[in-house]
Structures are given as structure tokens and as C-alpha cells.
Amino acid sequence: MAKSAGKFGVRYGRTLRKKYQLIENLQRKAQKCPYCEKVKVKRVAKGIFQCKSCNAKFTGKAYHLGE
């Protein structure tokens, strides 16, 4: 549990820290671009994503593009 949720220490309970870690790992992972189909999309802000390959900027869910 010492990954991204490690900054909370023992506070807030294990379940909430675990959920936080899952969401943060998902939002930081590179995702597949719906335009060029390459795995180069990064999250710029809440719900805004940008492809590093084709430079397309588009919206999606708050933390990831979804399925």
C-alpha cells in the first residue's frame, strides 16, 4: 500500500486508500486513442485527454476514457 496512497499513511482506512490507489493508477496509465488507435493518450485535466501521437484533444470520463 506504499504506492500512490502511501502519502496518507495509516489515515482514512485501508479500503479508501485501496480505492484511491486503483483510480490513480488508472488515470495515469496511457490509454488508446479513438482516432489513431495508438496507446499514446494521457489525461491533461479532469475529463480532458490528449493524444501524443496525433495531437487530438478530446473529452471522456473524469479519470479514464472508458470502454
Whether residues 38 and 59 share a domain: the answer is yes
Q: Are residues 36 and 25 in the same domain?
A: no
Q: How many domains does the chain have?
A: 2
pLDDT for 41 beyond 90: yes
Q: Is there a single domain that holds both residue 16 and residue 39?
A: no
Using CA atoms, how far apart are residues 52 and 35, in angstroms rounded to an integer? 12
Question: Is the Cα torsion angle 41, 58, 37, 27 positive or negative in sign?
Answer: positive
Can you give the residue range of the structural domain that contains 36?
31-67
Question: Using CA atoms, how far apart are residues 6 and 56, in angstroms rounded to an integer?
Answer: 34
The CATH number assigned to the domain holding 51 equals: 2.20.25.30
pLDDT tens, position by position, 1-22: 567 788 888 999 999 999 999 9
Measured in residues, the chain has a length of 67
Residue 62: is its pLDDT beyond 60? yes
Q: Do 25 and 42 sit in the same domain of this protein?
A: no
pTM of the model: 0.75
- What is the rounded average pLDDT of the residues 28-55? 92
pLDDT at 13: 92
